[in-house]
Structure 1
Amino acid sequence: MRYLFLLLFVYPLNLAAQTTMSGKVLSLVNQKPVADASVFLNNTSIGTKTDAAGTFTLSNVKNGKYDLIVSCVGFEAVSQGVVVQDNKVQVPDIQLMPKVTELREVKIGKKNTRVDSRRARLLRMFMQEFLGNTANASQTKILNPEILYLDYDEEQQKLTASTQDFLIIENKALGYRTKYLLTSFVKDPLNNILQYTGASAFEQIKGTPEQQTEWQNKRVKTYLGSAMHFLRACTENAVGQNDFTVFKLQRTPNPDRAPDSVILRKIRYFTDVKERDSAIYWSTMFQEPRFAYSVPKVKLDAKEYIKATDQKSFFALYHPNILMVNYKNNNANANANSTLIIFGDQETYFDSNGIILSMRDNKFERYWSELRFADQLPADYELPRSLK
């Protein structure tokens, strides 16, 4: 995907207004309009197609920062950063580069059962880490997994993945069919890294009234207590009213537990040499907590970890200590619905939609870190009015 990184700073006339965004898509080679191109805002359900003149209009866009994605058969996809703070935005002409098809060697011969088995194993690993292990994940399926490029470094135990086209992901728990262009996926357990980047367009699945009601209820359940819910509550100065409590805590490494990289190498070695007792010993150690925590019982006020930036509708999250965020539980020792926010030396930025713009070297642990794509809602999701 080609990235333009053009930011459109349009100063606000009415922060509560819904924005209309218009533009035109052209071929870079001959400057002719590109018809039937898909145009959508990343991680939302807002999208459309260009008409015969290459023009498009997106409606009902709230203030915030978005990646505008444009894709069309025969062209390279384009991602363009847009900051929206007005009731009408005219996007400069978007030019698409014709795609150079990469020819891959095709080998014809006997079916390689070993290769097929390895890909099936890597695909299971990818599905588990990308979609997750929640109830929502159990009802989510990738309809075209054959387009995934998967690679696994046996020595480093590192799984990587990407696609050149959109994955079609059907989530029958939440009622969404999503197109997802996977730019990069890395699972590196030795360095405790799991990260993926890409572009997604959500579309609601058509269903019976009963199905629509069930999907709406599950979306509400998924939203409540989520990072999106918490960050939106922060922007509205309504953390407590939304049943969140925040504590600061300190932690020290568990002196009886070896680092993850050491444990995983030991498990692999003793498994390979079939020393069962030693493998069990190190596997048991892996389940031990990495840290011991000291939790003060004083709740933090939102102003102690949230601050406005020089741009309206954009906020910064930071605290010199680790933050514990609890949902519907005032007990500082709660774990079931608690999340730890671990800060490096920089802030995490997010917008009024509750969408994180940059985590930098900060990370989540516990509840939010366990959620994957199957538990993701589009950025334009709103609670039903009856629950607001």
Structure 2
Amino acid sequence: MTRFLIFLLFFNLFYFQISAQIYLEGKIYVNNEPQSNVSVYLNNTTTGTITNKDGEFNLEVKNGVHQLIISHLGFKTIAHNVDTETYKKPLVFSLLEEDFPLDEVVVKGKRSNDDWEYHYSVFVREFIGTDELSKHCTIKNRDVLSFEFDAQNNVFTAKAIEPLLIENEALGYAISYDLQYFSLEKNISKYLGYSYFKELRGSKGKHKKWRKNRLKAYHGSQLHFYRSVVKHALQKEGFVINQFVRKKNKDRPSPERVIRAGKILSKSNVVFNLSGKMDRPENSIDSALIILEKAKLPKYIDYLSKDEIASSDIILDEGKQTYLLFNHNLRVTYLREKEENNYILRNPFSKPRKAVSQASNVIPLAKKIKVYPIGVLANPLDVLYEGYWSYTKFANSLPLDYRESNED
């Protein structure tokens, strides 16, 4: 089994759309004084505003449950869940200063050593991505980033002293991303943050290109998949789901046996030829060589348990709530788009091959997973992604209020 980079993307999103709209009204204070120019927006959408000179904001939103973000430089970000059914106006918030002195962190965030550029390249690779769209996605204020590498535990982390200003020229968005957490550990990258999307200005030609690229980013994405599942429209939208179980490879020797085999060979003065095939060992050295060769086998093997399952096989409706229920892992294939060449050659020892349909694994980490019709999970940490969805990263991000019909 090819080993894929596993990628977790989570936003702590709460968003459920129905047709009617209302206005959210509120006021922001600092030390009991109204604060102007504070960013107020719905997380991961194009809906937002700033407070006026009296610290007031007024935001038109659709009825439902939203995550309202209050963000201002030098102050702690506030994430507040608003249910329009129980909302009472006005909303009132008091900003608290960050724990760190701003000037001190600015110095730390600058390129103060030779490792910064390398660490930045790692961050861009794991956060922005390496696909075709990532080539046109730029962090405009990269100096606000600082990095730390824990060599003992092999953990890489990143922090930002103010929201990242990201321009995605391929999709036509300027994005303010309030990074809350980023780590890379054992080939697993995780990040948490709040996004506010704004449309870039451009010519008719650029808008046409952006519509085309947005459709490409949407088709086959997690957003597209979960919307299709809830609508029971998997086949219509081009998705095929198979279930599989993952078991340990019994032919792969244990770490203890590999270590013992290595010690046997290290004590021997014999010159080894690993190119030939050995059917039957004649001595302890032969046995050690076979063990080391088998150590190259994959740790796990995936076995198909059920093919071409329907949405009804994994969906549970309880009143107004929709849940995903699946005991085994899902193999999700999107038939209408092929893999990018960068994906095929993403590993150092990857060999060129013919592109096939995009395929991703969904590994459940919870028994009951709430999903919203807008196309997101209530708790994105309930699943783990492998394969193509671990390759398409922030450069492919679309706001939750994106609609495929808007691009026709």
**TM-score, with normalisation over the residues of structure 1?**
0.78
**What's the offset of the Cα at 1:181?**
1.2
Aligned residue in 2 for 1:294? 303
What amino acid is the match of 1:56?
F
Q: CA deviation at 1:62?
A: 5.9
Q: Which residue of 1 aligns with 2:52?
A: 51
Mapped to 1, the partners of 2:57 and 2:294 lie a distance apart of 56
1:344-355 to 2 correspondence within 5 Å? Answer: 344-355=365-376
Cα distance in structure 1, aligned partners of 2:252 and 2:22: 55
1:41 aligns with 2:58: no
SS at match of 1:45: coil
Shift of the 22–287 alpha-carbon distance from structure 1 to 2, 3 Å rule, reads farther
Count of residues in Structure 1 that have an aligned counterpart in Structure 2: 344
- The answer to whether 1:150 aligns with 2:147 is yes
Moved more, 98-107 or 69-78: 98-107
Q: How far apart are residue 135 of structure 1 and its match?
A: 0.4
Larger RCO (CA within 8 A; separation ≥ 6): 2
Q: Show the counterpart of 2:91.
A: 92
Q: Aligned-pair distance for 1:235? A: 1.8
Which amino acid letter does the alignment assign opposite residue 160 of structure 2?
T
Structure 2 gap ranges (5+): 1-11, 259-272, 275-288, 337-354
Q: Deviations over 1:291-333 (max 9, x none)?
A: 32222464212122122345x3x4222201111112127xxxx
Give how far 1:34 is off. Answer: 2.1
The reply to whether residue 209 of structure 1 matches residue 204 of structure 2 is yes
Deviations 1:249-289 (A, max 9, x none): 122233455899xx9xxxxxxxxxxxxx99xx9xx999965
Tell whether 2:176 aligns with 1:198. no
**TM-score, length of structure 2 as denominator length:** 0.74
- Partner Cα separation in structure 2 for residue 285 and residue 355 of structure 1: 41
Q: Where in structure 1 are there 5+ consecutive unaligned residues?
A: 264-276
> Which residue identity is paired with 2:39?
S
Shift of 1:168: 0.6
Could you tell me whether the CA contact under 8 Å between 2:173 and 2:200 is conserved in 1?
yes
Give secondary structure in 2 for the equivalent of 1:48: strand
The one of 104, 117, 120 aligned to 2:117? 120
* Corresponding letter in the other structure for 1:318: L
Cα 1:359–1:367 change in 2 (3 A) is same
> Is this contact kept in 2: 1:21–1:89, CA < 8 A?
no
1:383 matched to 2:392: no
- Amino acid in structure 1 at the alignment position of 2:154: Q
Q: Tell me how far apart the structure 2 counterparts of residues 20 and 106 of structure 1 sit (CA, whole Å).
A: 40
Kept after mapping to 2: 8 A contact 1:347/1:360: no
Give distance in 1, aligned partners of 2:156 and 2:335: 36
Residues 339 and 38 from structure 1, CA distance in 2 versus in 1: closer, same or farther, beyond 3 angstroms? same
- Counterparts of 2:63 and 2:20 in 1: how far apart (Å)? 5
Report the RMSD for the aligned CA atoms in angstroms.
3.6
Instruction: State the match for 1:272 in structure 2.
Output: none
Tell me, yes or no, if structure 1 residue 230 matches structure 2 residue 225: yes
1:181 aligns with 2:178: yes
The separation in 2 between residues aligned to 1:77 and 1:345, in whole angstroms, is 29
Aligned to 1:303: 312
Asked if the contact 1:182/1:198 (under 8 Å) is kept, the reply is yes
- Asked if 1:319 is matched to 2:326, the reply is yes
Rg: which structure is higher?
Answer: 2
